[in-house]
Structure 1
Amino acid sequence: MRIITLNANGIRSAERKNFFLWMQAQQPDIVCLQETKAQLHQLDSDVFCPVGYHCYYHDAQKKGYSGVAIYSKKKPTEIIEGLGWPDMDTEGRFIEARFGNLSVISLYLPSGSSGEERQAIKFSFMERFMPFLMAWGKNGRDYIICGDWNIAHKAIDLKNWRGNQKNSGFLPEERAWMDELLTSGHWLDAFREINQEGDQYTWWSNRGQAWAKNVGWRIDYQIVSAALKDKIKTTSIYKDERFSDHAPLIVDYDL
């Protein structure tokens, strides 16, 4: 099973940069998108529900903002939109597709980079989300949580880690939260199960020459149930083309 996750930074923009042509060539079983920045009525072209896929969107109420989506070759047994939190569900940050005992989630965790108010919202999301994660880790289901978590976990996960220790995305509290998650015994970072190398990033600022010089952050993940450890087979970050300020993260599973 091949799963691709991408923060599209605008699905219509990604389409103009030939994301869907590339996606179809990859023949993924499931695609998780974040930051679609569109509402369903704006996506009336057939390209936004690719041939051969069941397509599900959870949009933000605010136009041109946030939004998540899942495409799947196999029809899910159930789709769940939102976490039951009105403040975050109106921003379109969570959609879950269930396939029997497997849940695949497209998650867009809030960014705090725009200021203290949004950082407080991010911390609130994290505080509320952790109990969900711990409960899911114990409930017997298998989970693959794809998406933009807006946190670089360790120094290896961003180029300029020394200079970013007081910046959103690499704050001590955020990294400690990821530590708690990934040392709980319930969850794994699928990419790091396969690839322990440095200079592996999924997001680059549009400022300066960040992309050209590979001055990036690894903030996009597939976080999976510990029971799936031996099912993770290959992983890669696709950078030959640029569809967004993020790069697609590809993981193949023996599922």
Structure 2
Amino acid sequence: MGRVWQSEAACGSSSLPGVLTVSTVNVNGLRAAAKKGFVEWLAATRADVVACQEVRASPDSLPDQLAGPQGWYAAHADCSVKGRNGVSVYSRLELEAVRVGFGEPEFADSGRYLEVDLPGLVVASLYLPSGDVGTARQDEKERFMKAFLPYLAELRGKAESQGCEVLVVGDWNIAHAEIDLKNWKGNRKNSGFLPHEREWLGRVFDEAGYVDVQRRLDPEGPGPYTWWSYRGKAFDNDSGWRIDLICATPGIAEKCTSVVVERAESYDKRWSDHAPVTATFDWSAACA
């Protein structure tokens, strides 16, 4: 089992609010993001829960304002390889339980998956591996996908039996459809848009039973994109990918009232190559 670190002090609530707001963002290095604006964003956000990916720092190496910010409970799962991966969850609500990994030994210490329990809700922060065709990284990605799909189905079934809902949020590193990336024709043979990867993500929806809440509200697209390469004019031209997803079990997905991609106003105001994705749920109606 991988290592998990949880903050002990926060001023939060032990029950879910009537309207629940959840954000996810790949920070592309938490300490670097903090120097560029993440700390200010976290202080200003109205989100009740914030999931972060690609933290790339051990919890004990983070300053207090990142390890356990005032007003937040925090849980972190780092990678056994220093400076790689890492996922976190910040919550204004008290965490009932924290779990790291999804039972697959190869990825137990990889810093790619972290679950927290809130009253009636499981929130998971996911950083699915990226890859390059024909490399060991792609092989790792596909092993992760193979093991993760049945776990997702199991997680949903277990939650349903307990009267709970599930949100699996984060960087999925796969664009599902042509409307999910600007240059889809040029990426048909690249990792992240390979036919079998797209089919796998479709199985997350069709077989495991999760709902992409962005596409439920906006089925037509294109975008909105959530990641833009730092190279060239990708951000300025909005030549991006929609790979940061909030996937929900059907009960809470039906109560999602909005999803917003918090795209920076300009290139120089970015603190990551990804933008936060923020969803709002009418949780009181979900529990009625």
The alpha carbon displacement at 1:183 in A equals: 2.0
Of residues 224-233 and 245-254 in structure 1, the stretch that sits farther from structure 2 once superposed is: 224-233
Match of 1:14 in 2: 33
Match of 1:187 in 2: 210
Match of 1:108 in 2: 127
Match of 1:221 in 2: 245
Match of 1:143 in 2: 166
For the residue of structure 2 that corresponds to 1:216, the secondary structure is: coil
Indicate if the aligned counterparts of 1:138 and 1:186 stay in contact, CA closer than 8 A: no
Scaled by the length of structure 2, the TM-score of the pair is 0.85
Match of 1:160 in 2: 183
Scaled by the length of structure 1, the TM-score of the pair is 0.96
Using the alignment, how far apart are the partners of 2:110 and 2:64 within structure 1? 23
Superposition CA RMSD, Å? 1.4
Indicate if the aligned counterparts of 2:79 and 2:86 stay in contact, CA closer than 8 A: yes
The alpha carbon displacement at 1:147 in A equals: 0.4
The alpha carbon displacement at 1:76 in A equals: 1.2
For the residue of structure 2 that corresponds to 1:3, the secondary structure is: strand
Task: Report how many residues are paired.
Answer: 255
In the alignment, structure 1 segments of 5+ residues that lack a partner are none
In the alignment, structure 2 segments of 5+ residues that lack a partner are 1-19, 284-288
Indicate if the aligned counterparts of 1:38 and 1:65 stay in contact, CA closer than 8 A: yes
For the residue of structure 1 that corresponds to 2:60, the secondary structure is: helix
Using the alignment, how far apart are the partners of 2:101 and 2:30 within structure 1? 20
Deviations 1:173-214 (A, max 9, x none): 100011112123721001111223314101111111111111
Match of 1:252 in 2: 280
Match of 1:91 in 2: 110
Aligned sequence identity (%): 38
The alpha carbon displacement at 1:47 in A equals: 4.0
The alpha carbon displacement at 1:67 in A equals: 0.2
Using the alignment, how far apart are the partners of 2:46 and 2:252 within structure 1? 22
Indicate if the aligned counterparts of 1:187 and 1:226 stay in contact, CA closer than 8 A: yes
Using the alignment, how far apart are the partners of 2:90 and 2:144 within structure 1? 25
Deviations 1:9-57 (A, max 9, x none): 0000110111121122122100000000101121033344221100110
Distance 1:114 1:170, change over 3 A: closer
Using the alignment, how far apart are the partners of 1:92 and 1:4 within structure 2? 19
Indicate if the aligned counterparts of 2:149 and 2:208 stay in contact, CA closer than 8 A: no
For the residue of structure 2 that corresponds to 1:221, the secondary structure is: strand
Using the alignment, how far apart are the partners of 1:10 and 1:75 within structure 2? 25
Instruction: Kindly provide the amino acid, as one letter, of the partner of residue 111 in structure 2.
Output: G
Instruction: Kindly provide the amino acid, as one letter, of the partner of residue 95 in structure 2.
Output: P
Q: How does 1:61-100 map to 2 (within 5 A)?
A: 61-100=80-119
Task: Indicate whether 1:58 and 2:77 are aligned.
Answer: yes
For the residue of structure 2 that corresponds to 1:69, the secondary structure is: strand
The alpha carbon displacement at 1:243 in A equals: 1.5
